[in-house]
């Protein structure tokens, strides 16, 4: 799943974010593994996707801010080339392999092949195909998860222009963030209208870009104001650790335990987005504190590094294992699927993602020259302590 981005002209390492990616992708994997065994509603796997959305918005906005501060402008050409190089190669590789396996029977008992369905996926419109045709019709088993990539790609198309307009016409980051918060309010209102007035089902509000874009915009707001990498905080560390983080966890728990359909399809996404603010800030500012230290352990960070490819391939692997190894107990199937998924993801990372990352850096240096100017706000002590590495 996207949630990483290439820095425009300098290396930037943000502590804990790889660990957050790892937690999000493992939560999604575990929820899908349980669903494969017929157990649903136990784990909030959907929250893993929401976390990825928030992370994408935060990273993209942070990097656009840095680019503007370093070069005095934002290069649309560089931005879209970096996104293409980052997202497309693993995505199309996973789509092609899953589709070929589906056609030759390697992913058995799936739906009939429909060229239109695969074309919609290739054009990053899986989410609206799902709304119109359902989760399985015309899609290779497991590739329905590409719906979230469609939401993010739609966001990437529009947000750089939106951000440039904010920089040009809205003075002050607080006002810019307020406008984005207003857009989040509009999306929430639209979900409420769809659900309460028109009786829209969960699939409509869960996967559509127009009803989920606020989960990314919340991360954009953090990138603009209260950014834990680009500015200091006015609050004492005890306020973050012992007040705001616990309150955020309580808010998330509320979003999980209230099971009313209308709440889950409307307000829950907004509540989760708000609660992610203090969790992200504290995780980045205090990477060596308590539970956040676990996010920075080497095995956890490794899962985070390969999380995009894990996200892309794991549903198809789970589906295939359930048929290839049907005689094994469910726990053994899940363990085998996890091991195979990580192995495939690491292979994609080495063969595709790592070379693509080097190309992104070259593109950044070539297309976004750094301008000697007033430096950006100094990084926080947590970032300095963690050192700098390629993102």
pLDDT of residue 4: 46
pLDDT at 259: 93
Q: What is the pLDDT of residues 256-275, one digit of tens each?
A: 999 999 999 999 999 999 99
pLDDT of residue 374: 40
48-59 per-position pLDDT tens digit: 999 999 999 999
What is the tens place of the pLDDT at every residue in 234-258?
A: 889 999 999 999 999 999 999 999 9
Q: pLDDT by residue (tens digit) across 319-353?
A: 999 989 989 999 999 999 999 999 999 999 999 99
Radius of gyration of the chain (CA): 21
**What pLDDT is recorded for position 1?**
59
For 129-153, what is the mean pLDDT? Answer: 95
Q: What is the pLDDT of residue 371?
A: 53
Q: Which pLDDT band, with edges at 50, 70 and 90, does 283 fall under?
A: very high
pLDDT, mean of residues 367-382: 49
Q: Which of 303, 373, 379 is nearest to 13 (CA)?
A: 379
Q: What is the pLDDT of residue 364?
A: 73
pLDDT at 389: 30
Short-list 81, 71, 74, 78, CA closest to 167: 74
What confidence tens digit (pLDDT) does each residue in 91-140 have?
Answer: 999 999 999 999 988 887 677 788 999 999 999 999 999 999 999 899 99
Q: Structure tokens of 86?
A: 């980052």
Mean pLDDT value across residues 148-162: 97
Q: Tell me: pLDDT of 381 over 60.
A: no
pLDDT the model gives residue 382: 42
pLDDT of residue 13: 77
Residues 48-91: pLDDT tens digits? 999 999 999 999 999 999 999 988 999 999 999 999 999 999 99
Position with higher pLDDT, 391 vs 102:
102
* Domain regions of the chain by residue span: 17-386
pLDDT for 109: 67
Q: Report the distance separating Cα 287 and Cα 284, nearest Å.
A: 6
Q: Is the pLDDT of residue 36 over 90?
A: no
- No. of H helices and E strands in the chain? 19, 0
Q: Quote the pTM value.
A: 0.91
- Cα separation, 377 vs 391, in Å, equals 19
Of the candidates 64, 9, 76, 90, which has an alpha carbon nearest to the alpha carbon of residue 363?
A: 9
CA atoms within 13 A of residue 220's CA, in its CB half-sphere: 24
- 77-82 contact pairs (CB < 8 A, 24+): 77/367, 78/8, 78/363, 78/364, 78/367, 78/368, 79/156, 79/160, 80/156, 80/160, 81/363, 81/367, 82/5, 82/6, 82/360, 82/363, 82/364
Residue 255 half-sphere exposure toward CB, CA atoms < 13 A: 23
Kindly state the helix (H) or strand (E) to which residue 354 belongs, with its residue range. Answer: helix 354-367
- Reading the block at residue 6, the tokens are 């290439």
Q: For residue 360, what pLDDT is reported?
A: 85
Residue 376's pLDDT band (boundaries 50, 70, 90)? very low
Q: What is the pLDDT of residues 179-233, one digit of tens each?
A: 999 999 999 999 999 999 999 999 999 999 999 999 999 999 999 999 999 988 8
Judged against a pLDDT cut of 50, whether residue 9 lies above it is answered with: no
94, 142 in Cβ contact below 8 A?
no
Confidence of residue 32 (pLDDT cuts 50, 70, 90): very high
The pLDDT score that the predictor gives to residue 366 is: 72
Confidence of residue 368 (pLDDT cuts 50, 70, 90): low
Which pLDDT score, from 0 to 100, does residue 377 have?
Answer: 43
Residues 378, 12: Cα–Cα separation, whole Å: 12
More confident residue, 176 or 141: 176
């Amino acid at each position: 799943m996207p949630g990483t981005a290439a820095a425009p002209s300098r290396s930037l390492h943000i502590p804990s974010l790889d660990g957050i990616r790892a937690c999000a992708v493992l939560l999604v994997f575990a929820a899908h593994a349980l669903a494969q065994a017929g157990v649903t509603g136990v784990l909030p796997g959907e929250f893993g996707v929401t976390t990825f959305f928030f992370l994408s918005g935060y990273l993209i906005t942070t990097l656009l801010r840095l680019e503007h501060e370093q070069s005095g402008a934002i290069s649309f050409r560089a931005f879209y080339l970096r996104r293409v190089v980052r997202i497309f190669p693993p995505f199309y590789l996973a789509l092609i392999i899953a589709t070929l396996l589906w056609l030759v029977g390697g992913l058995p008992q799936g739906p009939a092949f429909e060229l239109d369905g695969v074309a919609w996926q290739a054009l990053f419109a899986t989410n609206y195909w799902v709304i119109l045709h359902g989760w399985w019709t015309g899609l290779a088993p497991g590739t329905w998860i590409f719906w979230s990539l469609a939401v993010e790609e739609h966001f990437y198309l529009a947000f750089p222009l939106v951000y440039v307009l904010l920089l040009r016409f809205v003075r002050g980051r607080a006002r810019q963030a307020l406008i984005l918060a207003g857009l989040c309010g509009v999306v929430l209102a639209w979900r409420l209208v769809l659900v309460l007035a028109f009786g829209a089902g969960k699939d409509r509000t869960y996967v559509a870009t127009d009803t989920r874009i606020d989960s990314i915009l919340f991360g954009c707001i953090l990138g603009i104001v209260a950014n834990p990498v680009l500015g200091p905080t006015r609050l004492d560390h005890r306020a973050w650790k012992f007040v705001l983080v616990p309150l955020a966890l309580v808010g998330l728990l509320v979003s999980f335990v209230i099971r009313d359909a209308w709440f889950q399809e409307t307000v829950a996404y907004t509540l989760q987005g708000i609660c992610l603010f203090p969790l992200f800030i504290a995780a980045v500012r205090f990477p060596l504190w308590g539970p956040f230290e676990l996010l920075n352990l080497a095995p956890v960070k490794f899962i985070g590094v390969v999380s995009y490819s894990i996200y892309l391939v794991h549903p198809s692997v789970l589906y295939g294992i359930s048929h290839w190894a049907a005689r094994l107990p469910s726990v053994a199937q899940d363990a085998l699927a996890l091991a195979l998924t990580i192995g495939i993801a690491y292979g994609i990372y080495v063969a595709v993602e790592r070379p693509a990352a080097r190309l992104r850096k070259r593109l950044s240096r070539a297309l976004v020259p750094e301008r000697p100017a007033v430096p950006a706000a100094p990084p926080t002590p947590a970032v300095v302590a963690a050192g700098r590495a390629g993102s």
